[in-house]
Amino acid sequence: MGLLDALFRSNEILGIAEETLEFAIESSEASHPNEYMGFLRGTEATQLGLEQDGLVITDVLVVPGTEANSVSATVKTSQIPNDVKALGSVHSHPNGVIRPSSADLETFGRGSVHIIIGAPYRQSDWKAFDSQGKRTTLNVIDVDLPESEDFFDFTQADIDEELY
């Protein structure tokens, strides 16, 4: 990426892909009564065919080593890969109270948007908060996500096949 691209690239978060939000809600339900936790990663909107600058949340990175129980999910920071630039976080409140706890507020400073999903995990059982723990708007965007990164993962054999 060139310097100018870096200067003009907008880091504004336009919203979350509908599919990604649904995945997080389903995962939260599957984890119940334990807490589910992950980090949010984004994709440039233009890569998703949108004619807007900014980022769309498209991935939830579940960190291995998350110690989940019904009270809290603690992430061992040493297990977060260095290359991960998370836009924020998502976690569930199995008790259904969709409000940041004091422990949540301590971790919200990292990242700009934090989603809390609460039992009973219906489509509307989530809220987004900013780094201060205040309610914030997060648009749900209906975009087509690439099936899998494997799609682009050509092997040398594939390339040879194409060439000869």
Name the residue nearer to Zn ion (CB basis): 29 or 104. 104
Name the residue nearer to Zn ion (CB basis): 35 or 141. 35
Q: How far apart, in whole angstroms, are the C-alpha atoms of residue 48 and residue 66?
A: 30
Give yes or no: 44 in active site: no
Least distance to Zn ion, CB of residue 32, Å: 14
Given the residues 19, 35, 44, 162, select the one marked as catalytic: 35
Cα–Cα–Cα angle for 82, 104, 24, rounded to 5 degrees: 70
Q: Give every CB contact of residue 62 below 8 A, 6+ residues apart in sequence.
A: 27, 36, 37, 38
Residue nearest to Zn ion (CB): 104
Give yes or no for a contact between 108 and 100, defined as CB atoms under 8 angstroms apart.
yes
Least distance to Zn ion, CB of residue 104, Å: 4
Amino acid in position 148: S
Which residues sit opposite 42 in a β-bridge?
Answer: 57
Q: How far apart, in whole angstroms, are the C-alpha atoms of residue 38 and residue 115?
A: 10
Residues interacting with Zn ion, by CB under 5 A?
Answer: 101, 104
Name the residue nearer to Zn ion (CB basis): 101 or 112. 101
Least distance to Zn ion, CB of residue 48, Å: 29
* Residues marked as catalytic: 35
